[in-house]
Amino acid sequence: MSWFELQASELDHKNLIKSWQVGEEAHSSLLQLSFSDVNSWWYVVFLGGSLFLVWHFYGLAKKKGSNHASYFRVAVVLAVVLYFYSGYMVMLLWNIPFMYIPQTLRKGVFGDSFGTINALCSGLAFAGVLITLLFQRKDLSETRKQIGEQNFESQFYSMLQHQQEVVKNFDIQQSKTRKIVAQGRDCFRHWDRFVGHHYRLYYGVLIVNDPHCHAYNQVYWHYRSDLGIYYRSLYSVFRLIENSNHSGAAKFGLLVRSLMSDYELVMIFYNCLTPQGSKFTKYVYSFALFDNLDETLLLDQDHINFFTFEAYGSNRRLIEKLRIGPPSK
């Protein structure tokens, strides 16, 4: 219909007033709505959609790098606070029509309604500070522990290197010509042979108590300048491991044990049976030092019974030969 086709009756002021009143009533009915009149499904959809967006953006930020993820975590915390305040406001305005919300917000009573939640948030913030301090204390404790373990490892490898240098500098010379007949770890094989020689002498010719100790002492006191520093340096390494409280102390003890030759173990074996080597015995048991012991190199294979099964670690072959084995035997 064009403007020229309008009839006079349609331009009547009463009809215009009636149309205006209908529009006003429709507009007023919309303004009379409140948060309680909104279908609950809209809240569920809004909350679910928000959570999905948060999860999606966090995944994208995590892929881009740790810095983006850290910034996003801060944003999530701020968003949670904002959602918390918004939810509290919706609860306060739950039954108030939308048209009266601006008037309600201007009232001082409504502002005072946030006093409780502000106090709650202040308490939560204080609790967060305390929790942060606790976490920082835990982090500092772990950092100190890591630094302590790093210092131990540095000192351990330095001492182990020194102990290996001691072994490397060993030499056995002929008394007359001063010719070197053995160097380094090979000296332990010669010392073991000298102990065997004296043992056969004491056991076959001279009747003495503990011939193995007498035989060993003959060699020890003759070569004490080398053997003494060897045992002291090795004792210091094991003592460092024992006093370190390192989480991997057993691993470091295994490393030291793996560097010992068969003849070294034999010399340590008989040294522990003498008064000067008795203090070393505790490390024999702590680190199962004779786990790789070759009993055929001993002066008598029955000598394995001088130590209990703890000294032989997981060497079942030796443990089965003991007269008094483990309790489960």
Give the DSSP letter string of 283-313.
HHHHTTTTTT--GGGSSSGGGGGGS-GGGGT
pLDDT digits (tens, 9 = 90+) for 103-135: 666 665 555 555 555 655 675 676 667 667 766
| pLDDT band, residue 265 (cuts 50/70/90) | very high
Q: What is the pTM of this model?
A: 0.60
Composition of the chain by helix, strand, coil, percent to 5 = 75, 0, 20
Domain boundaries, the chain: 11-144, 150-321
Return the structure tokens found at 242.
């024992």
Least confident of 12-21, 44-53, 113-122, 148-157: 12-21
| pLDDT band, residue 11 (cuts 50/70/90) | very low
C-alpha span between 127 and 124 (Å, rounded)? 5
Report how far apart, in Å, the C-alpha atoms of 15 and of each of 23, 104, 247, 273 are.
12, 36, 92, 123
Q: Does 242 have pLDDT greater than 60?
A: yes
pLDDT digits (tens, 9 = 90+) for 31-56: 567 667 777 777 778 778 877 777 77
Only one residue has tokens 């010399």, namely: 267
| pLDDT band, residue 328 (cuts 50/70/90) | low
* Average pLDDT for the chain: 78
Within 10 angstroms of residue 156's Cβ, the number of other Cβ atoms is: 19
Q: Average of pLDDT values for 73-90?
A: 68
Residue 219, C-beta contacts closer than 8 angstroms, at least 6 positions apart:
191, 194, 195, 198, 227
